Amino acid sequence: MKINFAFLFWLLPVWGFAQQVKITHGPYLQALGENEVTIVWTTDNPAVSWVELAPAGDDSFYAQERPQYCQTRHGNRVVGQLHQVTIQGLERGTEYRYRIFSQAVFDQSGTLSCGRVASSNVYSKKPLRFTTSDSQKTDLSFVALNDIHGRQDDLRALCGNVKYGKTDLVIFNGDMVDRMDGEQQFFDAFMDEAVKLFAGEVPVFYARGNHETRGTFHPYFADYFPSRNGQLYYSFRHGPVHFIVLDSGEDKPDSDVEYFGLARFDAYRSQQQEWLKKEIESESFRSASYRMVIVHIPPTGSDWHGAAEVKNKFLPLLRHAGITVMFCGHTHKYQYIAPDDQLHDFPILINAPNTALEVSATPNALSVKRKDTAGKELNVFTYKH
């Protein structure tokens, strides 16, 4: 008797052999605002993804049906391995619980079919949470670090105090990697560790460093760290602080042999200069109690081209704009540059690769504690409102 095995193919899903999918990295929060957030993760196979959202509470995540938010483009759900789900229409300063889902999508004889579903755990673990930002909040607590260059031990030590409910956000001020060589490489270097520590519940705001502009994977950096304006220079307000995040680009002239003719950072920094002119006129900037600038390459202390560009294009606009303090990295050497009325009427704090800046803003003052990997306090700066 002849047996036709083709029918077995159709039974595979029933028997549990349908196309599998696994969550490989994330989820982590990006572009948090008063009314929105973007949740990012990756999968090992192409999938469509969605997020289910529940209000804060101790009730079961499935006490009732939860609204679903999908990633769509031109009306279609996005099939891929990098998933970015933006949720809009949220309430300001409000806690939510969330669960992520990815369903495998595969080509079955020329037709797209769906397979298994992977999701974050809401049963044996508490669901992940986030709280939207709030310009009316009186206090803010955040941590800034830079130049980690893939040193996970330092990342772990410096973020020891980062906790949901206590830390509102974390700033990565550039050079978290040596190069952007691939997805697995940069997750291995620092981002998987950040997810393990806090990034699923405490949002990361990233100021790109010059090392993130290097490597074959660098064009995809912004896909993994999306901002609300779609640029790598942007601003956001949380509590009493208005943040301006600038992208200082590369440190050498665009014509340097190291860039193989591919760099156009002078024009890019001029574009940011035009944006910055409008930014410092914004209501959010003007009404904030504290105004901070986050930029990887410091404008002073070096005569390299990138530093000169930051100095010549950004400082004249920031001088007399009421900046509280500027945070930089890049030089791998701690330095506190006091205000100088000719160039910058605000202090510049260059953070070292093995220290973190723990910032606390209250109605009266913004205080910055620089701590080392053992948690030892090295410097404290206080800026009165």
Binding-site ranges for Fe ion (CB under 5 A): 175, 209-210, 330
Q: Which is nearer to Fe ion, 30 or 210 (CB)?
A: 210
Nearest to 354 by CA among 325, 327, 380, 334: 334
Q: Which is nearer to Fe ion, 39 or 158 (CB)?
A: 158
Nearest to 284 by CA among 136, 126, 65, 80: 136
Residue labelled with tokens 């950004």: 314
Q: Which residue is nearest to Fe ion (CB)?
A: 330
**Shortest Å, Cβ 24 to Fe ion:** 28
Residue 190: φ, ψ to 5°: -160, -30
Beta partners for residue 143, in sequence order:
170, 358
**Shortest Å, Cβ 147 to Fe ion:** 6
Q: Which is nearer to Fe ion, 168 or 175 (CB)?
A: 175
N-to-C CA span, the chain: 89
**Shortest Å, Cβ 56 to Fe ion:** 39
Residue 343: φ, ψ to 5°: -115, -50
Distance in angstroms (rounded) separating the CA atoms of residues 385 and 382? 10
Distance in angstroms (rounded) separating the CA atoms of residues 52 and 23? 16
User: How far is residue 362 CA from its own chain's centroid?
Assistant: 24
**Shortest Å, Cβ 234 to Fe ion:** 19
**Shortest Å, Cβ 209 to Fe ion:** 5
Q: Which is nearer to Fe ion, 46 or 209 (CB)?
A: 209
Q: Which is nearer to Fe ion, 105 or 148 (CB)?
A: 148
Q: Which is nearer to Fe ion, 39 or 326 (CB)?
A: 326
**Shortest Å, Cβ 332 to Fe ion:** 8
